[in-house]
Chains A and B, each alone.
Chain A
Amino acid sequence: MTTPRKVLLVNGSPRGRESVSQTLVDFLNKKLTALSVETEMLHVISPVHPKEKVERFHQMMDSADSVVLVFPLYVDHIPSGLMKFLEDFSLYRKSHPSVKTQSLMAVVNSGFPEASQNDNAVAVCRRFAESEEFDWLGGLTLGGGGVVPAGSDLEKAGGRVFKITKALEAAALCLADAQNEPLPESVLMEIRKPLFPHWFYRFMADWGFKSNARKNGVSRQMKARPYSV
């Protein structure tokens, strides 16, 4: 009997369980479990963790056949907590080389409608994979992340997330395969197509923030310049 493949799903969102990344992780987890893949989940919310927790992170990374980094774009890049996680692991790997073939995948979501704005973050993940000798499986880039409900069931979000669920199902199949074959280019490209026209997404995003500001009683202060001299 063969040992089931083990996939570590790392949620790198500072918003933790109340995040779009968690919704994507939960969906992937469900699909992987259905494919008889053993999964573990890890939340990297901030750059600061106790030593014992960092050691546990490293053990989880070591034991995984594949690692999936799921995170939001923060200032054109990887969130600082996840970057510290990668730096710490790189240091650890210098004295603890991998004893088996491992692979890495990234799933990046951005609040901007253009999926292409995630490309630099994917490039960093790929460079990490090359540096630490993980096989690179590819990076799924999702624009307009605001349409994905945070911390909830992706399958209940309806047809508007169809392209996302299709791409994540393909990602699950890829992760379940012991050959470490990268995601097909067609999957990587399909998820980049806009879910809505960009102008409509921008309009809705503006409306959302105005609505939040109104609820908080600061509608007229939204353009405040508290640090003007």
Chain B
Amino acid sequence: MKALILNGNPESQDHLDKAADLLAKELKNRGWAAQSFLLRDLDVTACRGCFKCWAETPGICHMDDDGRALTSALAQSDLMVFLTPVSFGGYGSLFKTAVERAVLPLLLPFMTVREKETHHPLRYGRGISLFAVGELPARDFKSEEIFQNIVAANARNLDSPDRSCTFIYDDMSDDEIHGRMCLLAAEAGAKK
């Protein structure tokens, strides 16, 4: 089983980097083949909404940069883990740029109904489980609720068999972050 960890931390030496490393280790301990991408080190241009990946070069973005590697890795994964700062309840812009580029070529242009909503069928015919870690300066119930709803919407879009969401805060110790990542990895392990 393959897990893909997408770390959307825009700065180094931060809680998110620690969380990504700890989670990768915990997933590997549970037998997952975990691959990590540090998004700030990649060259990913923002999606231009041209839909060429649907109707001109199906499944491949016409922009030849690291965005293609993200799509390729996701297409072969059973679990994707999103790590991002929370911006006004949403994904941080660095992370959002990568998700837009990675996800669109994974979908077919056609429309189908899933959970009473219109969505796109999956190009590779199977859903990918979605776990997310949001980073906030401190507890913020309103932003956390929005973030959880966005993760749930993404999971519906990607027909994820499983989804989970957790948060880390600036005042957390390394042990506390480790604890949260152990719990997340345990969820993945239990459902493997």
Residue A227 contacts which of B48, B75, B146, B157 (CB distance < 8 angstroms)? B75
B96 at interface by CB-CB < 8 Å: yes
Residue A226 contacts which of B60, B109, B113 (CB distance < 8 angstroms)? B60
Contacts of A46 in B (CB 8 A): 45-46
Q: B75: nearest residue on chain A (CB-CB)?
A: A227
Q: How far is the CB of B155 from chain A (nearest CB, A)?
A: 10
Contacts of B142 in A (CB 8 A): 127, 130
Q: How far is the CB of B39 from chain A (nearest CB, A)?
A: 11
B150 at interface by CB-CB < 8 Å: yes
A164 at interface by CB-CB < 8 Å: no
CB pair A76–B150 under 8 Å, yes or no, is yes
CB pair B97–A112 under 8 Å, yes or no, is no
CB pair B46–A216 under 8 Å, yes or no, is no
Q: How far is the CB of B127 from chain A (nearest CB, A)?
A: 15
A78 at interface by CB-CB < 8 Å: yes
The SS class assigned to the B binding surface is mixed
A180 at interface by CB-CB < 8 Å: no
Q: When each residue 1-45 of chain A gets 1 if its CB lies under 8 Å from chain B and 0 otherwise, what string results?
A: 000000000000111000100000000000000000000000001
Residue A14 contacts which of B46, B109, B111 (CB distance < 8 angstroms)? B46
CA distance A218 to B60 in the complex (A): 13
**Chain A residues touching B, range:** 35 or more
Contacts of B97 in A (CB 8 A): 47, 80
Contacts of A116 in B (CB 8 A): 117
A128 at interface by CB-CB < 8 Å: yes
CB pair A114–B47 under 8 Å, yes or no, is no
Q: How far is the CB of B81 from chain A (nearest CB, A)?
A: 16
Contacts of B29 in A (CB 8 A): none
CB pair B111–A202 under 8 Å, yes or no, is yes
CB pair B76–A227 under 8 Å, yes or no, is yes
B87 at interface by CB-CB < 8 Å: yes
B36 at interface by CB-CB < 8 Å: no
Name B residues whose Cβ lies closer than 8 Å to a Cβ of A.
45-51, 54-60, 71-72, 75-76, 87-94, 96-97, 99-100, 103-104, 108-113, 117-119, 123-124, 142-143, 146, 149-150, 153-154, 157
Pairs A–B under 8 Å by Cβ, sample size 6 = A45-B48, A80-B46, A112-B118, A212-B56, A218-B55, A226-B59
